[in-house]
Amino acid sequence: MGNSIGSDSSPMTPSAHPAVINRFFSGSAWIEGAALNQLDEMSRLPGVLEIAAFPDLHPGKYGATGVALLSSRLHPLLIGNDIGCGMSLFALDLPLRKLKIDKAAERLRRLEAQVIGDVSDLLAETGLPADLAPGALGTIGGGNHFCELQAVEDLAEGGRIAGLDDQQLYLLVHSGSRALGAAVFSEAVAAHPGLVAGLDPRSEAGGAWLASHDRCVAWASLNRRLIAARAAAALRADLSLVADIPHNLVRRSDRGFVHYKGAAAVRPGELAPIAGSRASLSHVVLATDGVGRSLGGISHGAGRKYDRATMHGRVGRNRSEREQLLRNAWGGVAICDDRALVVEEAASAYKDAGQVASDLENGGLIVGLASLRPLVTFKKAVDEAEVEQRRRKPDHRREGGRGHERY
């Protein structure tokens, strides 16, 4: 299943009776054969009892992403290194009518430079050790993580009842446990060469991983809150939490442990965001009682259609094309000074979030409340002090090197 861990990893012993796989996607969903093959292999992992697969399903390193999996054993490989990664939606007290996109983008460019106070105290208030990676709190990270300023495009009556406002601005934050989760994952891999078989939750090793996992989940939630606080400070606004939904974690149940691998963990009546891309709509939905059939899981986003390497041959072949990728049809802009990331995270790399939401709604798992359009997407900005320092140096091109380009 996926990649093995090192040359001394024990091979997975297929189960004689694979777990039941419940598919919550239609024939209209873009699902790669590789993802379906991984899904089948996951159903044969030791201890696995049931799997729910969602319309954002796509291949992952250690199994398909976009699933909820019930098991009597713990499978750290399925959760991976970004333990507790999730989506948090916040309402801002800024009216849409006063928004100037370019000015907001200029302010959000300095998002990670905003002062957020004594993070040691915030960690302690969250029940976490005061020295648990305090320097990384309030940072987004790379890959598909982002902080996005959004406005309501369409609002259903249920959305109004839930308190959503089409004249208000929102922040959607996608991030996780940063290097903290990566360290927990690396330690588990190093300590347990046969990790593909999972861990006994009653064992010392299983209990230790679960405790570290719980700390990562709490840290990641705090991290998203602090990212949003920084964004609100940059925009000179106050904010309130609408939804905080993790999608990379384990939850205990009366039947075992549900592993959410790139799947939003929701309860009936809970609001949840389903992210689009920086050039397509995101959606806010309400989880129904039907999520009991899907192990309490739904899609957290559109899901990748093309992998990162493939995207470099599809879009952004020159600077002009890359600059176009930073704009969208609503006049929105993306802040991303990593030109590889601009290409890899292009809208065409992702599936249609609207189709994903439609499949989930037709499956009785959600009710759609609103769609939101992206206005400013923050991913990665060059440090301004670093830029100024380079400007004061002699032109690199005169020294035979290449000048620095910003995208």
Instruction: Report whether 206 belongs to an annotated binding site.
Output: no
| Residue 306, C-beta contacts closer than 8 angstroms, at least 6 positions apart | 314, 348, 349
Confidence band, pLDDT 50/70/90 cuts, at residue 8: very low
Q: What is the pLDDT of residue 344?
A: 95
Domain spans of the chain, in order of start: 20-399
Q: What is the pLDDT of residue 388?
A: 42
Instruction: Report whether 81 belongs to an annotated binding site.
Output: no
Instruction: Report whether 303 belongs to an annotated binding site.
Output: yes
Q: What is the pLDDT of residue 219?
A: 98
Mean per-residue pLDDT, 384-407: 37
Instruction: Report whether 216 belongs to an annotated binding site.
Output: no
Q: Is 283 a catalytic residue?
A: no
Between CA 55 and CA 31 the distance in angstroms is 8
Any long-range contacts for 96-102 (C-beta under 8 Å, 24+ apart)? 96/151, 96/166, 96/167, 96/168, 96/169, 97/167, 99/151, 99/169, 99/375, 101/331, 101/332, 101/333, 101/375, 101/376, 102/333
Q: Which is higher by pLDDT, 45 or 11?
A: 45
% of the chain residues with pLDDT over 90: 87
Residue 69 tokens, joined? 């999996």
Q: Which listed residue (58, 75, 300, 312) is catalytic?
A: 300
For residue 399, pLDDT beyond 50: no
Mean per-residue pLDDT, 91-112: 96
3-state secondary structure labels for all residues of the chain:
CCCCCCCCCCCCCCCCCCCEEEECCCCCCCCCHHHHHHHHHHCCCCCEEEEEEEEEEECCCCCCEEEEEEECCECHHHHCCCCCCEEEEEEEEEEHHHCCHHHHHHHHCCHHHCCCCCHHHHHHHCCCCCCCCHHHCCCCCCCCCEEEEEEEEEECHHHHHCCCCCCEEEEEEEECCHHHHHHHHHHHHHHCCCHHHCECCCCHHHHHHHHHHHHHHHHHHHHHHHHHHHHHHHHCCCEEEEEEEECEEEEEECCEEEEEECEEECCCCCEEEEECCCCCCEEEEEECHHHHHHCCEEECECCECCCHHHHCCCCCCCHHHHHHHCECCCCCEEEECCHHHHHHCCHHHECCHHHHHHHHHHCCCEEEEEEEEEEEEEEECCCHHHHHHHHHCCCHHHHCCCCCCCC
Q: What is the pLDDT of residues 351-381, one digit of tens each?
A: 999 999 999 999 999 999 999 999 999 999 8
Instruction: Report whether 80 belongs to an annotated binding site.
Output: no
Q: What is the pLDDT of residues 50-96, one digit of tens each?
A: 999 999 999 999 999 999 999 999 999 999 999 999 999 999 999 99
Q: What is the pLDDT of residue 5?
A: 28
Mean per-residue pLDDT, 309-313: 93
Cα-based distances in Å from 391 to 184, 319, 386, 387, 402: 40, 21, 9, 6, 14
Q: Which is higher by pLDDT, 119 or 396?
A: 119
For residue 390, pLDDT beyond 50: no
Q: What is the pLDDT of residue 395?
A: 41
CATH number for region 20-399: 3.90.1860.10
